[in-house]
Structure 1
Amino acid sequence: MTESDTVVHQPKGAETTNPENGHGVPTLVTSHEVNPVLERDAQTKGTWTAYVKTKQFWIAMLLGQILAICITSTNTLSQLLSMEGTSIPAFQTFFNYVLLNIVYTGYTFYKLGFKGWAKMCLKDGWRFFILAFIDVEGNYFIVLAYRYTTILSAQLINFWAIVVVVILSFLFLRVRYRWTQIAGILLCIGGVGVLFGSDHLTGYNQFPASNAVKGDLFALLGASLYGLSNTFEEFLVSEQPLYVVVGQLGFWGMFINGVQAGIFDRSSFRSATWNAAVGGYLTGYTLILSLFYSLAPILFRLTSAAFFNISLLTGNFWGVAIGVKVFHLKIHWMYPIAFVLILVGQVIYFLRQSSLAEQKKPWLGEDQHKGVAGIGTAKRRVERPEAIV
């Protein structure tokens, strides 16, 4: 600590003269240790570029782009499956939940034991069931949308997920947004507007949809459910170990998704095309989506559901970049400009935040004592100041 940070330790309740007041008025000093992470966070509130200069910011930016590429890849594989004549929206995501359940519930058994796992399910299982139900339905309607509309149209409607997240976070999680955050979100949306505007003006990447209105409505419903599940998952992973949340999501999602597939996908399953290409697409879809589900909670802890969603906006650029090879799309000269605008918007989003920024969750208390000290959490950094994530 610097000289100005030195704390004078005296017996509890002892009187001392405060040299700052200039009047020699006796004041009470209680001894306490000041946590360096919280102290630095308090000192940098409202300052410019405090968080942008941290390692956590760059990790969050990189992780956001990895997730954007993941979700773009799954969207591309959904489109390829639909083009093959295989549209099974519930069954398509079933194996993702199975894989998540095997990996993370298995690890939960190792950490908690079967009795500990059962006790956790009895206490909090209902919360995870709700999360899984919302997530399953979000996946179902987004995948269903690709049966009727185009990949670019479905991605454009995902803007609505950002609106849902911001409203829910403000109302229920006590998140208060700075004007720089709103400006950053609007610039990100503007960047994607440039991307889609260039397509409209040039006629690039315009493909007919079988039922655009129906598909867009499904995509809008899916985006709303995604926004709800993202906000709820951010809340849960801040309070619970990551392996518990993802394991429970896989456990309950497997049953909900399995039942839904059995009810709604039976006719589609029988009429679907089954070949080596479809098998490869489903395998790739499952592995990439499972990676997405494993990394997303870390970004929720490092930042927020709002930043998570604006990070995914670059997926529109990555979607066209992948589509150049897969769907023979064309990249207009305005696409790189749109991509840069989105990245600049993400920087502006964090431009005037403290050193902990959104890692410090308002619902966990000033010292984050209500949270879990897991990877990516502020509590982990409070307890271990040397920790990066």
Structure 2
Amino acid sequence: MSTTQVLPPPYNKSAEANGGGAVNSIGDAETHVVQPKGGDDTSASAAAGARAGGHGVAQLVDGDGNGDAGAGAGAGAGSAAGGNEVLETNARTKGQWFAYVKTKQFWVALVLGQVLAICITSTNTLSQLLSFEGTSIPAFQTFFNYVLLNIVYTSYTLYKYGFKNWGRMVLKDGWRFIILSFFDVEGNYFVVLAYRYTTILSAQLINFWAIVVVVAISFFFLRVRYAWLQILGIFLCIGGMGILFGSDHLTGYNAFPASNALKGDLFALLGATLYGITNVFEEYLVSERPLYEVVGQMGFWGMLINGAQAGIFDRASFRAAVWNSKVGGYLTGYTLILFLFYSLAPVMFRLTSAAFFNISLLTGNFWGVAIGIKVFHLQIHWMYPIAFVLILLGQVIYFLRQGQLAEQVKPWLGEGQEEGVAGIGTAKRRVERPEAIV
């Protein structure tokens, strides 16, 4: 099942290589083979396996040149598009109450969402602490995160592909990752810049706009269709945020002076918009490509874009910044937590969607105040726990009548998810390994 995309076309869909295997992508009209270092050419047998398996099947071929592996993978993926038990169960349970909520995958996604919310809240808190110390370097602050992502994930990609095949991938697909990295870098830049002018709570509350952006882009460009319960769940989560905002406004709790609230809020709004675009694009890419490739490319191009931007715009701020042991500690903590966030977010996109990812982050406002009790001497109003429970309830309602695979099934990957990657958190992995939790 094909879809018309405004987003860039996929690069010869592939399965996520494991065990050093080469990634083969066999389409209806074209065969593309990415061999590992020292691997034998098994494209002919792999292509035969794919044709036996059906239409446009992504598959794994063992690096030892065993052609039977290609045939087996093709046949297995072909059955996945047809009479696979996992897909049949998912189709049968669509529309049933609590079908997905009762699965282990739902609880993994729910907990993972809270881990990500705590991560993003921690980075927001550290940004505010840096601002209090007199250090506001919005571009330079995230530079080390991209460096670390590049060191870890690009190195692993080179190990899996070899330098020649990595270079081919960059030449063919690099432009897509440049666009993704640009939106991500600018989103980070404007959100961090917002803390120079506004308060941590104000900037966090504006992030709900990212949900609107994600839902709109997913609906129009990826043809994602939301059930009425999903829309209700989203509004319930936003309502929980509204309670947080209303309680602060009525009581005057947690009110910090802002040097230029309007300017800061506009920067936060722009950052949230860029985040929304980045989230949808990243969900699209990690559903088709290996996680380490996507994150590695984000680190590689993000490091170059961010470094250039820091050199241009942060020179004066860098010279005027305060440098002491506290600032060094804050920057180190910011980098490590953001690295963890970038490593886990793609798994969340595969398990659920960019929309659920963003409503999960709404609880970050509660966690932000919980952390702020110690750090900023904030106060928790009695309405805060109610708001937190309401947001979690909205997340449950979002999945109340979903099938057992729920949003792991991506509409742009075909009915049997044959155009996707069989990586951690994907529906295709569940199709091939029904016992897998993620």
TM-based fold match above 0.5: yes
Describe the SS at the equivalent of 2:162: helix
Alignment partners' CA distance in 2, 1:370 and 1:122: 21
Determine the structure 2 residue equivalent to 1:149.
Answer: 198
Q: 1:183 aligns with which of 232, 235, 240?
A: 232
Alignment partners' CA distance in 1, 2:374 and 2:341: 23
- 1:275-330 CA distance string (max 9 Å, x none): 00000000000000000000000000000000000000000000000000000000
Determine the structure 2 residue equivalent to 1:103.
Answer: 152
Describe the SS at the equivalent of 2:98: coil
Determine the structure 1 residue equivalent to 2:208.
Answer: 159
Q: 1:360 aligns with which of 398, 403, 409?
A: 409
Alignment partners' CA distance in 2, 1:165 and 1:249: 19
Instruction: Within 5 Å, give how 1:1-389 maps onto structure 2.
Output: 34-389=83-438
User: In structure 2, what residue type is equivalent to 1:237?
Assistant: V
Alignment partners' CA distance in 1, 2:384 and 2:267: 27
Compute the TM-score of the two structures, normalised by the length of structure 2.
0.81
Displacement of 1:115: 0.8
Describe the SS at the equivalent of 1:175: coil
Describe the SS at the equivalent of 1:204: coil
- 1:240-275 CA distance string (max 9 Å, x none): 000000000000000000000000000000000000
Identity %: 82
Alignment partners' CA distance in 2, 1:327 and 1:302: 35
Determine the structure 1 residue equivalent to 2:51.
Answer: none
Aligned length: 359
Alignment partners' CA distance in 2, 1:174 and 1:53: 27
Compute the TM-score of the two structures, normalised by the length of structure 1.
0.91
How large is the Cα RMSD of the aligned pairs?
1.0
User: In structure 1, what residue type is equivalent to 2:278?
Assistant: S
Alignment partners' CA distance in 1, 2:437 and 2:188: 32
Alignment partners' CA distance in 1, 2:83 and 2:211: 37
Describe the SS at the equivalent of 2:256: coil
Alignment partners' CA distance in 2, 1:295 and 1:109: 21
- 1:130-163 CA distance string (max 9 Å, x none): 0000000000000000000000000111010000
Alignment partners' CA distance in 2, 1:297 and 1:327: 31
Alignment partners' CA distance in 1, 2:234 and 2:283: 18
Alignment partners' CA distance in 2, 1:284 and 1:308: 23
Alignment partners' CA distance in 1, 2:382 and 2:266: 31
Alignment partners' CA distance in 1, 2:204 and 2:256: 14
Larger radius of gyration: 1
Displacement of 1:90: 0.1
Alignment partners' CA distance in 2, 1:207 and 1:154: 12
Alignment partners' CA distance in 1, 2:246 and 2:303: 40
Displacement of 1:34: 2.0
Alignment partners' CA distance in 2, 1:303 and 1:382: 16
- 1:325-347 CA distance string (max 9 Å, x none): 00000011111111000000000
User: In structure 2, what residue type is equivalent to 1:220?
Assistant: L
Alignment partners' CA distance in 1, 2:320 and 2:168: 43
Displacement of 1:373: 0.2
User: In structure 2, what residue type is equivalent to 1:47?
Assistant: Q
Runs of 4+ in 1 over 2 A off after TM superposition: none
Which ranges of structure 2 fall in alignment gaps of 5 or more residues?
1-78
Alignment partners' CA distance in 1, 2:356 and 2:295: 20
Alignment partners' CA distance in 1, 2:270 and 2:237: 22
Q: Which moved more, 1:361-370 or 1:43-52?
A: 43-52
